Amino acid sequence: MKLAIMQPTFIPWIGYFDLIDYVDEFVFLDTVQLARRSWQVRNKLKIEDKEYMFSLPIKKDKHRNEAILKDIKLSFENYDFILKFKQLLLHSYKKAKYFDELSENIFNILSFKTDYLCEYNINFIQEVSKLLNIKTKFIKASNLKDISGLKGDLILNICLNRSCDEYISASGSKEYLDKYLDKFQQENIEIVYQCYDHPMYKQIGDNFISYLGILDLLFNEGLENTKNIILKGRNFANT
């Protein structure tokens, strides 16, 4: 059984969805602290042929630095970020080939009502996965019992809880996971790394920009092509 564990990010890039599609179970790691300037609260779009970062407003709290992800609240105090995001997408992607076909569905997903950051991101990821016909089982770490530890120990304990044979990790985690390699081997769990090769695709504008949120690919290439393009970049290795 292949398992991946990731924090629920905001409009994730296409490699995130390839990882979901590759595994049998995908655990949303919502029991850790929110890192500053993290992908949980921001991601990139293409606007006027340039990379643009859109961020979600987070409710200010004196205990925010100690709060875990699942308890972080979105802020609606200064402006309606959902409306702002929709207006930005309309302005930037209305000329994209599949915008008219997909905008209503995507905007309905973006209109999901919740006060919590994780719930908003998780809903987006699950709904887009449905559109892409991804059948992977989703689980929240906060719903698992007796899970404890930090970094590699936490990951290992989740793997043991789910009885997986392979833990599929983003390549960026290799540096710290190598320190726990013996522990994983003792439990007969193989660590495999995602080494995603970002594919090119049709994009409005003159310059191709990679590593954008998945909405860019959806609006430019449509549902049918999006899944195939995502799979083109698939690359997993045991090193």
Q: Determine contact, residues 195/238, Cβ cutoff 8 Å.
A: no
DSSP string, 129-148: HHHTT--PEEEEGGGSSS--
Instruction: Count CB neighbours of 21 within 10 A.
Output: 18
Write the burial class of residue 86 (CB in 10 Å: 0-12 exposed, 13-18 middle, 19+ buried).
Answer: middle
Instruction: State which residues form the domain around 113.
Output: 2-237
CA distance 207 to 188: 46
Overall number of domains in the chain: 1
Q: Angle, to 10 degrees, between the axis of helix 99-110 and the axis of helix 117-131?
A: 150
**Global pTM?**
0.94
- Over residues 31-83, the pLDDT tens digits come to 998 877 789 999 999 999 999 999 999 987 756 567 889 999 999 888 899 99
- Percent of the chain past pLDDT 90, that is, above it, reads 83
CA distance 185 to 85: 45
- The mean of the pLDDT values for the chain is 93
CA distance 155 to 159: 6
- Over residues 158-208, the pLDDT tens digits come to 999 999 999 999 998 988 899 999 999 999 999 999 999 999 999 999 999
